[in-house]
Each structure stands twice: as C-alpha cells, then as structure tokens.
Structure 1
Amino acid sequence: MQMTAKKMSDRGLLALVRHEGIVPGPYRDVKQVWTFGIGHTAAAGAPDPAAMPRGMPANLDAGIREAFGVSRADLARYEATILRAVKVPLEPHEFDALVSFHYNTGGISKAALTRHLNAGDRAVAAAAFMGWLKPAAIRPRREAERDLFATGRYPAGTIPVWSVDRSGRVDFSRPIRRLTEDEALALLRPASVPVPRPSVPAATPEPAIGWLARLSAFFSTLIRRA
C-alpha cells in the first residue's frame, strides 16, 4: 500500500465539489451566514465573504478559479485532522473519501469508521460511512463517499455552478453552468500543468440534479455549521 497522501487529489476535490456545487459569489447559507464558493465562511479565514463584492463576478471563470483556490486553502485543516486521526496508511482514493466525509460532517475523530479503519477492518469502515445519514437527503453523497473509499471509483458527471444575486440569494432552480471534468481541472490547475487521464474504474453515472440533489447540497453547509 502507498504512503498516505498529504492532501486531497484534484479528482478528489472535484468529487467533493460535485456534492457541494460552486457559487462564485458571496451568498447567505441556511443560517444566514455569508458564504462563498464551496462552503467557505470567514470562520475558515480570509477572504471574508461578507466583505466581497456582491452578486456574480464579471468574469465567471475567474470567479470559479477563486472558489477553487479558497477551497484548497480551507481543506488543509481537514486534511491535517485526518492525518492525526487515522493511524494506518491510506490509498489516495481512501484519503479523498475521508476528506469529503470530514468536510461535510466534521466527525472523523469520533466516527466509528475511523475506529474500524485503525483496527485494520476496511470493509467494516466502508460500511460505517452509512452511519451518518442526517438529513436523509445526504444519502447519495454518503454512498458515493463509501464507494470511493472501497473501490476507488470517483463519481462522474458535470459540476453545477449556481448563480447568486446581490442580496446573497442562490438560484438553485437551474445551474448557470455545468463544468465537465476537463473544464473543471483546467480552472483548478495552473495553465502550465497538464491534465493527465489516468486509467480508473468505470465511473458512476451522473445523477439528475433534481430537488433531492439540490436539497442535499443545500444541507451540506448546514451540517458543517451544526
């Protein structure tokens, strides 16, 4: 087994963003906390979404790039917590799944899956992802994290970009844009970094973004605030 990765892979970040979606302007979450991009709040550090220009950016690509950059910085503390909590080596896809889980729940240090993983029982650890199903709409995300951990199969499909008005209200009725994986990687990485196309297991088909998926994304921020 490889040594544990020190940070989430680019494909892992895109898997997380498929669950969260991107709002490239400051918005108010379900608790009316000013938020930006991929769930970033002032509690995580700069920038302070409340002080950012309101509404959609004039350059959408630049706004998405900023959201990715801020998210990368935010993930560092989640990655560090996992490295402290997990005592066994992890494959990159396992680490990616745990970062997504912890980013959503904040529960890696107390989760049964961590205890089973440290005891060497990966199968039971994978099943234990499904012990975190509140609210019920989060089930598809938890299943995807479990499958990524167990099989290395990253979710497929486009990444929704949601629009926001100057009052901070997000329009979840229809994405303003859907990023393909190649488009997202191009915005995530510097232009000089090539985008490799590794051989990976067959990807999970893209689910339709219906009311349940939008509700799941909407509750993701609420769970992290709880």
Structure 2
Amino acid sequence: MTTETLGRALPHGWTTVDYEVALEIASHESIIRQAYKDSEGVWTWSVGLTSATGHNVTRYIGKPQPLEHCLAVYAWALDKYAQDVLAAFEGFALSKAQFTAALSFHWNTGAIKRASWVKLWKAGSIAAARKAFMDWNKPASIIGRREKERDLFFDGKWCNDGTMTEYTRLTAKSTPVWASAKRISVKKELAAAVAPAFNPIPVAEPEPVPPPPDIEPSPVPVSQPATSGGLFAALKGFLEARFGRKA
C-alpha cells in the first residue's frame, strides 16, 4: 500500500487527509486507548480527542479500545479540522507538505484562522511568516514540534518514522501515568483506519440466475436463426426422440 493509492493531489493544491498526512501528525502526538482527564480535567481519548469533536469520548471511560478504532476516529476528526485549514488558505494552493504542516499546527493550537504567520505567508512575506510560525512556542516542550512543523511547511521536510507514544496506564484520578509511555508503530493500524475512505468496498455484482432444472438445451444450432419455423422443427425432433412418435 502506498500513499498514492490512499490520497490524491488536486490541481488547485492538496486537500486530502490521507495515510501520510495522518501519520506525520500522529508522530507529534501521544495516544491513550481509554478516556482520561487532561491537565484541565477534560475527558480526552485516543490522539487528544475530546467530545468537542462531535464524538462522545466519555463512552471510553474504563474501556480501552483497539488501536485501529482509536486511529480511525482520529483520522475522522482530522478531516474535520482540515476544513478549517482549507478555509484559512482559501484561494491559495498548498502542497501536501504545507497542508500537513498547517493541519498539524491547527490540530495542536486550534488557531489556524487567527495565526499571523498564515496572513504573512498569503501576503508573500515568506521570511516573516517563517519567523512568526515560532511565536507559538508555549509551553517550552512544544518548541521541538513547532520547529518540525515549520520545516515541513517552508522546506518540505518530513520527519515521521511511523511511530507514536502510547501511555498504557492511568492513575486513580484518571490521569496518565507518564512512566507508562512506550513508542509503538502505528503504520499498519493507521493504514487500515484511513484506507476505507479512499478505497470504498465495491458493490457486488448480482449472481447470475441459474436456468430452471431439467430443461434440455435447444437443439437449434447456434448458427441457425431462431425463427418460428426453426423452433417448430426443433420441438418436433425433441418429441420424437422423447416419446418415440411423431408430433
């Protein structure tokens, strides 16, 4: 499976959340398979999803889900966020790298519509836009991610290795146990989660209707037109063969 089979480049720019886009953004994120409380006490699940996405994540309290399901809902939510990105850059064609970087930025900050770097870039002030991209640098732990997003948008430099961080345990207060972190590969599960949107299941062709039983094929040769005279002669021969008498 390749990214070419999962996504498509449109003449006016890249607009599709495909496997490669989702994988790049996931590499900056962590995943928890059951609902947990974030730093502000909000119930969160999977790749940082809250019920504000339109998917009720409280259903996963105490109920860890398969990795593929977690990633399928993540990809669905990414597509919703992508609409904001496309609206913010309306009238401008984005490369796949630019679309991915902007979507990653928006997924993390929710600020694509008010970020000054977007306005500067659209105005053609590329150097100023590149610098303004790094204004979104708090908390300090986010700086590494922001640099990677910047380099992807302005230089086309991809950085994912197909893995992301998973936290496998929660505290009694439903917050993540940070020591439970491990790096996992999500290539297979994310490809399976994203692929159905780009490879819909084809509608099965109807089964051919079998002929009625115990009906012998017509003795009319294939090359002979099935005229009324030909059919009468065929029926006559059939009756003679079956009953030993002439019709």
Which band: TM-score by shorter chain? 0.7 to 0.9
The CA distance in 1 between the partners of 2:190 and 2:80, in whole Å, is 22
Is 2:21 the counterpart of 1:22?
no
Give the Å deviation of 1:26. 1.0
The CA distance in 2 between the partners of 1:190 and 1:88, in whole Å, is 27
Contact 2:13–2:94 (Cα < 8 Å) also in 1: yes
The CA distance in 1 between the partners of 2:95 and 2:19, in whole Å, is 14
Number of the residue aligned with 1:142: 146
1:11 corresponds, among 20, 26, 31, to 20
Q: Secondary structure at 1:164's aligned position in 2?
A: coil
The CA distance in 1 between the partners of 2:76 and 2:83, in whole Å, is 12
Contact 1:78–1:102 (Cα < 8 Å) also in 2: yes
Query: Relative to 1, partners in 2 of residues 1:137 and 1:177: Cα closer, same or farther, differing over 3 Å?
Result: closer
TM value normalised by structure 1: 0.73
Give the Å deviation of 1:174. 3.7
2:110 corresponds, among 99, 103, 106, to 106
The CA distance in 2 between the partners of 1:28 and 1:7, in whole Å, is 31
Give the Å deviation of 1:114. 0.8
Number of the residue aligned with 1:198: none
Q: Secondary structure at 1:89's aligned position in 2?
A: coil
Equivalent residue letter for 2:48: G
Number of the residue aligned with 1:56: 64
Equivalent residue pairs, number: 187
Which structure has the larger Rg? 2
The CA distance in 2 between the partners of 1:184 and 1:163, in whole Å, is 17
Query: Relative to 1, partners in 2 of residues 1:177 and 1:147: Cα closer, same or farther, differing over 3 Å?
Result: closer
Number of the residue aligned with 2:178: 172
Identify unmatched segments of 5+ residues in structure 2.
Answer: 1-9, 200-247
Equivalent residue letter for 1:111: A
Number of the residue aligned with 1:219: none
Equivalent residue letter for 2:29: E
TM value normalised by structure 2: 0.67
The CA distance in 1 between the partners of 2:153 and 2:41, in whole Å, is 33
Give the Å deviation of 1:121. 3.3
Give the Å deviation of 1:128. 2.1
2:122 corresponds, among 118, 123, 148, to 118
The CA distance in 2 between the partners of 1:170 and 1:84, in whole Å, is 35
Contact 2:165–2:181 (Cα < 8 Å) also in 1: yes
The CA distance in 1 between the partners of 2:82 and 2:160, in whole Å, is 23
The CA distance in 2 between the partners of 1:185 and 1:67, in whole Å, is 9
Greater length-normalized contact order (CA 8 Å, ≥ 6 residues apart): 1
Contact 1:41–1:49 (Cα < 8 Å) also in 2: yes
Contact 1:78–1:103 (Cα < 8 Å) also in 2: yes
Number of the residue aligned with 1:84: 87
Query: Relative to 1, partners in 2 of residues 1:170 and 1:139: Cα closer, same or farther, differing over 3 Å?
Result: same
Q: CA RMSD in A?
A: 2.6
The CA distance in 1 between the partners of 2:157 and 2:188, in whole Å, is 20
Give the Å deviation of 1:176. 4.4
The CA distance in 2 between the partners of 1:190 and 1:8, in whole Å, is 11
Give the Å deviation of 1:104. 0.9
- Runs of 4+ in structure 1 over 6 Å off: none
Q: Secondary structure at 2:34's aligned position in 1?
A: strand
Query: Relative to 1, partners in 2 of residues 1:177 and 1:101: Cα closer, same or farther, differing over 3 Å?
Result: closer
Equivalent residue letter for 1:142: R
CA deviation map 1:148-200 (0-9, x unaligned): 112222113331222134853322214345116x4454443448x89xxxxxx
Contact 2:23–2:160 (Cα < 8 Å) also in 1: no
